[in-house]
Structure 1
Amino acid sequence: MELAHRVKTLSPSSTLAITAKAKELKQQGHDVIGLGAGEPDFNTPDYILEAAKKAMDDGMTKYTPAGGIVELKKAIAAKFTDDNELSYANDQIIVTTGAKHALYTLFQVILNKGDEVIVPSPYWVSYPEQIKLAEGSAVFVQASEKNHFKITPNELEEAITDKTKAVVINSPSNPTGMMYNKDELEKIGEVCLKHNILIISDEIYEKLIYTEKPHTSIASLSNELKEQTVIINGVSKSHAMTGWRIGYAAGSKEIIKAMTNLASHSTSNPTSIAQYAALAAYSTEEDTTLELKQVFADRLDVFYDLINDIPGISCVKPEGAFYLFPNVKEAATKNGFTSVDEWVTALLEEEKVALVPGSGFGSPDNARLSYALSLEELTEAAKRIKRFVVNNQSK
């Protein structure tokens, strides 16, 4: 049977692929350090686990409304008020099977064939593939390393055509860890309002910021920008709940209604038990995100210095998330490789350290390194990478 054309052109997720390869080597008995995973290395906090158990004991195991339980929507709305100074009604929020599914569903309901979505590069690997699945076209705008991988208002405006439907802003960013400040977002917002472009604001890493500069949601800057923005978020990164698959979107009633209708014919509803777990995450006074944030901040300070000390590798220090995105092209070239992809593969084979090549993020000179591991593992990983680079310089 011939497969549908929409899936024939899909590229596999490079992050999941490298993680799978690392797990395979581990199962073969190799001492592999995997720097590819995009998830906290902590178990979900106990109070959330207890809430899930209670939900099961109380019989909360049935279908729920397609867009999520009312209690969770109210808790998400309260979170927006407390954290972002934003007000959303229940019919402006949809709970989804992870933030990734929120994005997928959004692209499905806003894009027609040939519509364009501007995607700053480097980008999260699933943006272009999801746009492609909705029969849209991703228009990449290369953000310079000198500008900390952030696009400028002029660069955004130059990419706009009469087919442009939306722009994706991911702050803090996966894979770079960089974030836009209030002034930068205001200027980008002005361009979007001028050209009537929908802003897709992916804020999944908003709780993991390591500078004094606060997170700013572009939707909070004006009523006009709020109406023009759909926020994507979830509990995966902030509460170590990646496997629970609870994300959400907030935006105009029209868009949220369309997303909810589509969800009713695809997932039926997010997992009931996971929704009650997420409800506990957002409705308790216990804030485990501060501890999570401090652990990652400490790791960043150590790991950044170790990686930046390796010959041929340079890195802009990230402000959020839990990734380094160093430029490793010089090291790869001096090691005799024609591409960073080849260098990453050889590193995994020889030193058993798994990185994600930057080509999957639209930045072939870079590599993504997750520091969601212990300091001991990160120190050992940096040691192995440096040994690999130094030992292969004679190639």
Structure 2
Amino acid sequence: MSAASRDALPFTEQWREGNQVQLLINGEDFFPSVFEAIGRAREEVLLETFIVFEDEVGRQLQAVLVAAARRGVRVEMLVDGYGTADLSMPFLRHLVNAGVHVQAFDPQPRFLGMRTNLFRRLHRKVVVIDGEVGYVGGINYSADHLASFGAMAKQDYAVKVIGPIVGDLHRATLALLDESSSLPRPRAPWRSRAEPIDADSAQARVLLSIRDNQEHTRDIEQHYLQALENARERVIIANAYFFPGYRLLRALRDAARRGVKITLILQGMPDMPLVRLCSRLLYNYLLRDGVQIHEYCDRPLHGKVAIVDRDWATVGSSNLDPLSLSLNLEANLVIRDAAFNERLYQHLHGLASHSCTAISQQTALRGYWWRAPLIFVTFHFLRHFPAWVGFIPAHSPRLKPLLDVQPACTPAGLQLKEEETP
């Protein structure tokens, strides 16, 4: 990234006052809201995501982006080269031919048919429309975020925001797009022309926190640590992939020892069983100091949300695991607002009370004799992981456009495949 580009698009965390914030639960809330907002776009749509699948949701996304581009709206779609790896050639061509600028983050070729860019992924899920409306959360563009998908439909969250914080989302997204592009891009500040939303809070104080591999390597983790260190009454964390670093584990334990009611809502019906196994290695350490653990069993939990006391909350893409905390590009909003905190609290409290299995220390100790050596290794791994991960190259992000895609090649690490003709 050139010095001029860095100066033009600085990202520094700042609290922004006077924002409208609306909690969106699962794809049933998120997809209609995003697609309607894109349908109203007049000038610009910026979209970052980890996954787009070529299913009913992916096709709806394609349709609204194509329609926007054909209206003359600048449409930038940035996907991860690992997470979004199997889109067909016709699907991509339809986007590109309409004028959608599709890019993949950190493209890598396949080796023996396998994806190779396993680390340092674009895991952010951000949408910015006309510099006025923003979305941040953990929901990908795939049908498995809808209840109609069946038993393995994911439980997940996002927020819609209107207000000055959208300007920070706009700048952060443009900064990533400009890593590999010299195209001139508008840098308009947030404008107040957007229509009011059905907000859970109308005057929230909000901060955008990102994690990257350059200047913001620990920002999201630091916000969690600061909130836990200052907690006095209650903490609820609902997180899909819970395998945090030693600092966060110690902060949770210390808060519980101070008398703070700590509740963790973790996966009880996992989409990745290995992740659940890793989380369970930590249960006894936390339970013995009073942390309450509930496993959510209605469907796979994919959320990344938390509340602390009565006015702090966070919603975003960052799990509390080594990938999110030390490797991936992530984006969370930190929200200081009593009304939004209460809205999220009531929802999470309902999950813990009615849709979860409480884990007792007796349950956690079953099989402890054979897990004890593994637990010992796990804690030392967590203590030293941030230093060890520094040996994995922190390469500069690479974006590759799909404007010149051809059937014989696979740019941007995407496995492009021709659809069969009837």
Task: Using structure 2 for the length normalisation, give the TM-score.
Answer: 0.29
Q: Flag the structure with higher helix content.
A: 1
Structure with greater proportional strand content: 2
Normalising by structure 1, what TM-score? 0.31
